Amino acid sequence: MDFHLPAEITAKLAELDAFIDAEIKPLERDNMQYFDHRREHARTDWDNDGRPRDSWRALITEMERRADRAGHLRYGLPVSCGGSAGSNLAVAAIREHLAAKGLGLHNDLQDESSIVGNFPIVPVLEAYGTPEQKKYIEGIITGDMHLAFALTEPGHGSDATWLDTTARRDGDHWVINGMKRWNSQVGRAHGNLVFARTSGKPGDANGITAFIVPTAAPGHNILYNHWTFNMPSDHAEVELKDVRLPDGAILYKEGQGLMVAQRFVHENRIRQAAASAGAARYCITEAAKYARSRIAFGEPLSKMQAIQFPLVELYAECEMVRNFIFKTAWQMDRQDALEISDMVSICNFRANRLCCEAADRAMQTHGGMGYSRALPFEHIYRHHRRYRITEGSEEVQMRRVAQYLFGFGGKKAPSGTHA
Ligand SMILES: Cc1cc2nc3c(=O)[nH]c(=O)nc-3n(C[C@H](O)[C@H](O)[C@H](O)COP(=O)(O)OP(=O)(O)OC[C@H]3O[C@@H](n4cnc5c(N)ncnc54)[C@H](O)[C@@H]3O)c2cc1C
What is the pLDDT tens value at each position of the chain, 419 positions in all?
889 999 999 999 999 999 999 999 999 999 999 999 999 999 999 999 999 999 999 999 999 999 999 999 999 999 999 999 999 999 999 999 999 999 999 999 888 999 999 999 999 999 999 999 999 999 999 999 999 999 999 999 999 999 999 999 999 999 999 999 999 999 999 999 999 999 999 999 999 999 999 999 999 999 999 999 999 999 999 999 999 999 999 999 999 999 999 888 877 899 999 999 999 999 999 999 999 999 999 999 999 999 999 999 999 999 999 999 999 999 999 998 889 999 999 999 999 999 999 999 999 999 999 999 999 999 999 999 999 999 899 999 999 999 999 998 888 788 887 65
Taking domain 259-406, whether its CATH number is 3.40.50.280 is answered by no
Quick one: which of 159, 368, 404, 138 has its CA closest to 261? 159
**Is residue 152 within 6 Å of ligand 1 at its C-beta?**
yes
Helix (H, G, I), strand (E, B) or coil at 202: coil
**Is residue 161 within 6 Å of ligand 1 at its C-beta?**
no
Kindly state the helix (H) or strand (E) to which residue 183 belongs, with its residue range. Answer: strand 173-184
| Residues carrying CATH 1.20.140.10, the chain | 259-406
Hey, which of 393, 398, 400 would you mutate to test ligand 1's pocket, going by the most ligand atoms within 8 Å of its Cβ? 393
CA 409 to centroid of ligand 1, rounded, Å = 20
Question: What percent helix, strand, coil does the chain show, rounded to 5?
Answer: 50, 15, 30
Ligand 1: which residue has its CA nearest to atom 50?
Answer: 182
**Is residue 393 within 6 Å of ligand 1 at its C-beta?**
yes
What whole-number distance in Å separates Cα of residue 78 and Cα of residue 85? 5
What whole-number distance in Å separates Cα of residue 387 and Cα of residue 268? 11
CA dist 278 → 23, 60, 249, 382 (Å): 22, 21, 38, 16
233 Cα nearest atom in ligand 1: 1
| Residues carrying CATH 1.10.540, the chain | 7-121
DSSP 227: P
184 Cα nearest atom in ligand 1: 8
pLDDT confidence of residue 418: 65
Ligand 1: which residue has its CA nearest to atom 31?
Answer: 158
| Domain made up of 7-121: CATH architecture | Orthogonal Bundle (1.10)
Question: What is the value of pTM for the model shown?
Answer: 0.96
Superfamily classification of domain 146-251: Butyryl-CoA Dehydrogenase, subunit A, domain 2 (2.40.110.10)
What whole-number distance in Å separates Cα of residue 73 and Cα of residue 92? 15
**Is residue 265 within 6 Å of ligand 1 at its C-beta?**
no
Query: Which amino acid type is present at position 47?
Result: D
Q: How many CA atoms lie within 13 A of 90 on its CB side?
A: 21
Prior bond of 120 cis (ω within 30°): no
pLDDT confidence of residue 266: 79
91 C-beta neighbours (distance < 10 Å), count: 22
Ligand 1: which residue has its CA nearest to atom 30?
Answer: 157
What whole-number distance in Å separates Cα of residue 31 and Cα of residue 35? 8
148 Cα nearest atom in ligand 1: 8
**Is residue 233 within 6 Å of ligand 1 at its C-beta?**
no
Quick one: which of 142, 242, 251 has its CA closest to 192? 251
391 Cα nearest atom in ligand 1: 17
pLDDT confidence of residue 271: 94
DSSP 200: S
Whether 29 contacts 96, CB under 8 Å = no
What whole-number distance in Å separates Cα of residue 365 and Cα of residue 294? 10
CA 157 to centroid of ligand 1, rounded, Å = 5
Hey, which of 121, 152, 408 would you mutate to test ligand 1's pocket, going by the most ligand atoms within 8 Å of its Cβ? 152
Whether 414 contacts 405, CB under 8 Å = yes
What whole-number distance in Å separates Cα of residue 361 and Cα of residue 363? 5
What whole-number distance in Å separates Cα of residue 10 and Cα of residue 160? 39
pLDDT confidence of residue 164: 98
**Is residue 396 within 6 Å of ligand 1 at its C-beta?**
yes
Ligand 1: which residue has its CA nearest to atom 43?
Answer: 395
| Residues carrying CATH 2.40.110.10, the chain | 146-251
